[in-house]
Structure 1
């Protein structure tokens, strides 16, 4: 009897250990599903023109608050807000625009867009409000064959207002965290670069900025020289056209 009880206890312990191992194998999936299935009120925690990238295993989970004014043909009544009715009518178009204009890669290696959800939250905190929102929240999951080493994000999702032409992104990977600001003049950023990669990027930026300054300076010199020549030619032609003085 004692032997049967002992065997039963061993089987129970093995089952328990297997269950624990199964739970430990799914932390990233659980966290990702919790993030993607968050209550609508959670979206208020993402301020306008901000976003996050969270690297978990082979996937990048992203949340963005994007401007409605960056889209065409979605704001049916022209009030500058995305209502629930408008979202329902145009969600496929919005999803297509987001997936096309926001790209998350591992360096030059593209991932697979596995999930994309769009949520329209009212600007007012009143849950009964139907006014809609000037921004909408996007939840995305991009999967890769291996844990991404160099997370690169590129976006050209810019609104009409000046305040809608900057997108602040915070990327995390375990204990690592990095913040970047995308603008129409700098529409991409690579997170978690090595020191050598950062240095190379800095040198390239400085080189291009110096080249731009050189072109501007050259244009000013050429324009100035041309203007001086033009003045001399005009004076010479004026003298030739003037009648002789008696």
Structure 2
């Protein structure tokens, strides 16, 4: 028992150390930029071939200069309709729109280039002097991996803001002031955790341990303090993380807590709190890299950090409340039926969580090792 406890504490210490030198959730390949200069806005948009029906004639997933040239009018109409900039509820017209092959093709119709999986659209929009918040909306999402999200980087003077657009959240507002930015980031933080299967599975693994309310509160508090710490330290530039190790580490944290559940009372409550705290450090690094991808070089990183962290905590509370409410409802149904939850239930749930964690490790470690040349 002492040896097992020592091993668990050593692993927790390893995770804590692992978190300090350990940037996950990299920016997607599909990007757009908006530069505001005076009363003009200049756009550069990467548009995936799979978002342009009919332009990819041979359906090889690439757009050649010849294909771009032959479908230029249809592509231009698609871009104008699929990417809009508005302010004050008014959509701004494009002053110009140019299309280009990212490989430098001239679009001379020869089709000599093998093509690229996307094209570059460059446009200009007229703005009123000192325009207020700008809202960008798009449906130019592709169907291939990595094409279901667009990252917009907006520049106005020294202010840099980033909006992440998806089919579910196709509009983003930039230059909306500190209060608006805080509120928007709170929503982003909540969306991030509620859409993060790894974070939710970790929280689920904590709940299915069957611990007391006091023990659960202690573990959730430790997790919250830990991920808030690394989230803040990373955004302040005091901690740097490598996604090749952070992402598998987060999956590994699920496996570790599931193993603690299966071990039952062999390990004390204090040991679980230490392990959960160490795991929280890793999860915080995952949150931090997601926020870093959104914050960019923004001059308002602190309100973004505060809003994002608040959203994460709110999302965490919503998920745990829903989970506990579902558990209570199930318990009431079983009581009325004169039945009880099988003792094997929590152990089976923990074993299942461990299986999913191992699958996540495999899925994240192999690409990471390939990227590191291992």
Paired residue for 1:122, among 100, 103, 115? 103
- What's the secondary structure of 2:61's corresponding residue? coil
Paired residue for 1:65, among 46, 53, 75? 46
Structure 1 or 2: more helix by fraction: 2
More relative contact order, 1 or 2 (CA 8 Å, 6+ apart): 2
- What's the secondary structure of 1:162's corresponding residue? coil
| Matched-pair contact (CA < 8 Å) for 1:81–1:132 | yes
User: 1:187: Cα distance to partner?
Assistant: 2.0
Paired residue for 1:91, among 64, 67, 72? 72
Within the alignment, does 1:185 sit opposite 2:168 as a pair?
yes
CA distance in 2, matches of 1:86, 1:191: 34
CA distance in 2, matches of 1:69, 1:194: 35
CA distance in 2, matches of 1:195, 1:145: 21
Paired residue for 1:103, among 84, 87, 90? 84
CA distance in 2, matches of 1:108, 1:75: 35
- Which structure 2 residues correspond to residues 1-246 of structure 1 after superposition, within 5 A? 48-122=29-103, 130-202=113-185
CA distance in 2, matches of 1:104, 1:223: 47
Q: How many residues align?
A: 184
Aligned in 2, Cα 1:224/1:123: closer, same or farther, shift over 3 Å?
farther
Moved more, 202-211 or 156-165: 202-211
- What's the secondary structure of 2:54's corresponding residue? coil
User: 1:129: Cα distance to partner?
Assistant: 5.1
Q: TM-score, normalized by length of structure 2?
A: 0.42
- What's the secondary structure of 1:163's corresponding residue? coil
C-alpha RMSD over aligned residues: 3.4
Give unpaired runs (5+ residues) of structure 2.
1-27, 106-110, 191-310, 339-374
| Matched-pair contact (CA < 8 Å) for 2:163–2:173 | no
Give unpaired runs (5+ residues) of structure 1.
1-46, 233-246
CA distance in 2, matches of 1:218, 1:109: 45
- What's the secondary structure of 2:85's corresponding residue? strand
* 1:103-131 deviation per Cα after TM superposition (whole angstroms, max 9, x unaligned): 1112423212111111123399xxx9511
CA distance in 1, matches of 2:114, 2:186: 48
